[in-house]
């Protein structure tokens, strides 16, 4: 399609409508063709609706085809709509929440899962997913932890790239869809972990910690980027000229589409940054936001801004060309339905291949936190009790698109399928709600069942709607009813594994001692129960590691491993501090379970790391290596992690930062040498003006099995 020729035929009104996106229900008209409810409340005219560029939130192939048909009849120039959707961890076949996939430390897995999601979404009529979300998260109170791959920018970057590659591929297949990285920028740093709250941070932290993962996604060729709801340097992102034009467009060279978040234009009024919708349109135009999601400031005021000379038609054209170019890239002008097909939906949704991949995802995302000889359960175990509020529900997390809990394999179902129903029993134990109080009858039934069972799988956690957008929590522990259940069951049966279903790290310090074993399944998706059975029975091992620190208590939030060093550090991160050091009176500084931590059914050990030479220069490199040994009786895979500390620098640097990791397959008793090449890009940082700084001096390289590794090899950059 000659999109420039097409653009030349468009009126200003049509261009502004291309730059607007509305919910699918806003595009529906009544049977006489009149503008109805949602569209009327946005004061959209029939002409606006006819020329609208894109929509979101619709129900699948049939609806998409019907809507596109209607649209093509009314759009004067025959420009197809783009259909967008939050395909976050699967479309109909649901895989673990992104935080879980982060725990896999397996970008190839992320890529394959994203490919599967794209395929199902494409046949379901989607051409753009609002994913990956790469916001750095350090505060487990924030509900949107579940959407991120965790607290580390390096891991987030690898996962972002993998997701973009999985969704978009090279667009050679009709099953590829465009990706949209979000939420630019620093949305994960909402104060107090409360969603939509203000963000305030230094440019030093922005450049060093928060921006890198978005940058990796744009470098990977992501076609769209979504602005965040929050402020950056006191200016809301959708109207932030510095952020969008200077950083994103000019410095990073991002040429894709910038879309606002839902209603974020008009929220600039609530921020007190704009007085009215006219000012919202002006701020967003000046900042360079191409598409306005779910409000009508561009449509209402774009023309006036043009007439007043505040914006030029060339600027509008730039945005519209980007939108038309994506439609063209996706082949929408040749086939406005693209891959949408109700028949293919039937063939692909929940097909055995997709279920198998979802199961692999769930297995590789589960983290074993504690195991005092409970696991693996024996294949010949005779009476297994699957108990708890999440024993038969809770597999599907927030943002699950068209995924259905009823199509998911629950923990109970998974254990029944693995062992046969005659060997497995169920009791609910208590309610799922966060404020649930113990129900005596449920509790008694569960304890009685546990007392006559040979093993207990105790399924605990948080409801689906206790994490995700707008679902922040001030208390991130288990409910009182669940804690009572844990304690009462521990009294009668020690052969008990607690299994956690959650969308964030939970604070477990007050209950972990009552759990002989504990594993985190996150919200594992459609095949959660079958993955659980495979893991608990040792048919596969736990290989995932924590992508976020698990705190002792919510009072430690935000807590993350790569903190900067204080002038009065605690003498021991795991003990209560001494006077006049940076400490709490009632809790260690460090987490209960650190970033990078997780157990397997064998024990791994690493030797103290050694460097190949004492120094390197900026153009050179050196190698750090350590021997990793499988000390146990089972073959498995260790996740060996490299962290680096810059000992003295002109800016205070983190205690350590993840710079690499490698999964090493080891037979029982086997040892292997793992080596990492250190190059100077791993030693540099950003100053407050976004310049790369590389300073000579001493560095420490840690090679170990979690971020808590203490042994380091020293070298110098000369
Ligand atoms: C608001 C959310 O913040 C964003 O992540 C999502 O993509 C949009 N709504 C569209 O659903």
SS (H, E, C) 585-618: CCCCCCCCECCCCCECCCCEEECCCEECCCEECC
Looking at ligand 1, which atom is closest to the CA of residue 229?
3
Contact between 598 and 640 (Cβ < 8 Å) = no
Return all residues near 2 (Cβ < 8 A) that are at least 6 apart.
Answer: none
Q: Does the beta carbon of 86 sit less than 6 angstroms from any atom of ligand 1?
A: yes
What CATH code would you report for 362-536? 3.40.50.1700
Nearest residue by C-alpha to atom 7 in ligand 1: 130
Interatomic CA distance for residues 145 and 141, integer angstroms: 8
pLDDT at position 218: 98
Q: How far is the CA of 262 from the centre of ligand 1 (A)?
A: 6
- What is the per-residue pLDDT for 34? 77
pLDDT beneath 50, residues of the chain:
none
Q: Which CATH class is domain 602-717?
A: mainly beta
Q: Whose CA is closest to atom 3 on ligand 1?
A: 261
d(CA 249, CA 93) in angstroms, rounded, equals: 36
E-strand stretches of 233-376? 235-236, 257-259, 292-293, 367-371
Pocket flag, ligand 1, residue 135 (CB < 6 Å): no
**Global pTM?**
0.98
- At 693 the three-state DSSP class reads strand
Q: How many residues does the chain have?
A: 718
pLDDT at 36: 78
Task: State in Å: Cα 264 to ligand 1 middle.
Answer: 10
Backbone angles phi, psi at 592, to 5 degrees: -70, -45
Q: Are 131 and 165 in contact (CB under 8 A)?
A: no
Burial of residue 4, with CB atoms counted within 10 A of its CB: 0-12 exposed, 13-18 middle, 19 or more buried: exposed
How many of the other CB atoms lie within 10 Å of CB of 193? 25
What pLDDT shows up at residue 39?
85
How far apart (Å, rounded) are the C-alpha atoms in residues 145 and 137?
Answer: 6
Which tens digit of pLDDT belongs to each residue from 700-717? 999 999 999 999 999 999
pLDDT of residue 407: 98
Residue 219 annotated in active site: no
3-state SS assignment for residue 629: strand
Determine the distance from the C-alpha atom of residue 636 to the mean position of all C-alpha atoms in its chain, rounded to a whole number: 27
- By most ligand atoms within 8 Å of CB, the mutation choice from 262, 265, 266, 267 for ligand 1 is 262
75, 152, 261, 277: the catalytic one is: 261
Q: Is it true that 362-536 and 602-717 share their CATH fold?
A: no
The residue contributing the CA closest to ligand 1 atom 1 is 262
C-beta separation of 248 from 258 below 8 A: yes
Cis ω on the peptide bond leading into residue 132 (within 30° of 0)? yes
Local structure of residue 563 (DSSP, 8 states): P
Domain coordinates of the chain in residue numbers? 362-536, 602-717
Angle of CA points 161, 164, 170, to nearest 5°: 115
261 lines ligand 1 (CB under 6 A): yes
Q: How far is CA 455 from CA 70, 427, 495, 539, in A?
A: 58, 13, 5, 17
């Amino acid at each position: 399609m000659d999109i420039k020729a097409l653009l030349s035929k468009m009126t200003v009104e049509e261009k502004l409508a291309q730059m607007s996106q509305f919910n699918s229900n806003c595009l529906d008209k009544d049977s006489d063709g009149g503008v109805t409810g949602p569209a009327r409340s946005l004061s959209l005219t029939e002409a606006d609706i006819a020329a609208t560029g894109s929509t979101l939130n619709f129900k699948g192939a049939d609806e998409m085809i019907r809507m596109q048909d209607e649209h093509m009849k009314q759009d004067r120039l025959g420009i197809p709509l783009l259909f967008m959707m939050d395909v976050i961890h699967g479309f109909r076949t649901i895989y673990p929440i992104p935080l879980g996939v982060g725990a896999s430390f397996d970008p190839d897995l992320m890529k394959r899962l994203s490919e599967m999601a794209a395929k199902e979404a494409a046949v379901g009529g989607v051409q753009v997913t609002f994913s990956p979300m790469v916001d750095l998260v350090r505060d487990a109170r924030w509900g949107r932890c579940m959407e991120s791959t965790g607290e580390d920018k390096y891991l987030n970057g690898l996962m972002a790239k993998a997701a973009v590659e999985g969704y978009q591929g090279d667009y050679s297949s009709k099953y590829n869809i465009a990706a949209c990285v979000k939420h630019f920028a620093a949305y994960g740093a909402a104060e107090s972990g409360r969603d939509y709250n203000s963000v305030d941070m230094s440019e030093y932290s922005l450049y060093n910690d928060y921006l890198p993962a978005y940058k990796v996604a744009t470098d990977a060729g992501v076609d769209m980027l979504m602005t965040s709801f929050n402020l950056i340097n006191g200016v809301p992102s959708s109207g932030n000229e510095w952020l969008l034009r200077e950083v994103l467009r000019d410095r990073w060279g991002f040429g894709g589409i910038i879309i606002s978040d839902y209603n974020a234009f008009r929220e600039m009024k609530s921020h007190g940054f704009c007085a009215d919708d006219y000012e919202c349109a002006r701020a967003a135009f000046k900042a360079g936001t191409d598409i306005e999601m779910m409000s009508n400031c561009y449509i209402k005021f774009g023309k006036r801004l043009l007439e007043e000379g505040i914006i030029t038609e060339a600027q509008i054209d730039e945005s519209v060309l980007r939108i038309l170019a994506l439609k063209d890239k996706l082949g929408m002008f040749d086939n406005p339905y693209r891959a949408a097909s109700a028949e293919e939906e039937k063939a692909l949704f929940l097909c055995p291949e997709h279920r198998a991949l979802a199961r692999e995802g769930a297995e590789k995302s589960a983290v074993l936190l504690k195991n005092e000889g409970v696991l693996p359960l024996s294949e010949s175990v005779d009476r297994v009790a699957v108990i708890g509020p999440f024993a038969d529900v809770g597999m599907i997390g927030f943002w699950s698109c068209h995924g259905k809990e009823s199509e998911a394999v629950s923990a109970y179902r998974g254990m029944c399928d693995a062992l046969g129903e005659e060997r497995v029993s169920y009791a609910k134990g208590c309610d799922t709600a966060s404020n649930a109080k113990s129900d005596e009858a449920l509790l008694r039934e569960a304890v009685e069942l546990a007392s006559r069972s040979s093993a207990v799988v105790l399924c605990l956690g948080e409801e689906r709607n206790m994490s995700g957008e707008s679902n922040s929590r001030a208390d991130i522990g288990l409910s009182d009813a669940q804690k009572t259940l844990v304690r009462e069951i521990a009294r009668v049966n020690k052969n008990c594994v607690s299994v956690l279903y959650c969308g964030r790290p939970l604070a477990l310090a007050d209950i972990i001692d009552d759990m002989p074993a504990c594993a985190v399944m996150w919200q594992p998706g459609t095949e959660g129960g079958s993955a659980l059975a495979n893991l608990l029975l040792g048919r596969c091992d736990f290989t995932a590691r924590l992508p976020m620190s698990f705190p002792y208590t919510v009072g430690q939030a935000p807590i993350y491993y790569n903190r900067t060093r204080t002038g009065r550090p605690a003498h021991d991160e795991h003990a209560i501090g001494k006077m006049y050091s940076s400490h709490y009176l009632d809790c260690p500084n460090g987490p209960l379970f650190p970033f990078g931590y997780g157990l397997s059914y064998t024990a791994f050990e690493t030797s103290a790391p050694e460097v190949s030479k004492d120094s390197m220069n900026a153009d050179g490199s050196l190698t750090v290596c350590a021997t990793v040994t499988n000390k146990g009786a089972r073959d498995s895979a260790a996740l060996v992690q490299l962290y680096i500390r810059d000992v003295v620098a002109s800016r205070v640097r983190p205690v350590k930062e993840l710079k690499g990791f490698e999964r090493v397959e080891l037979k029982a008793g086997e040892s292997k040498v793992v080596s990492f090449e250190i190059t100077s890009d791993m030693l540099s940082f950003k100053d407050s003006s976004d310049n790369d700084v590389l300073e000579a001096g001493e560095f420490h390289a840690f090679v170990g099995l979690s971020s808590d590794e203490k042994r380091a090899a020293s070298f110098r950059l000369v």
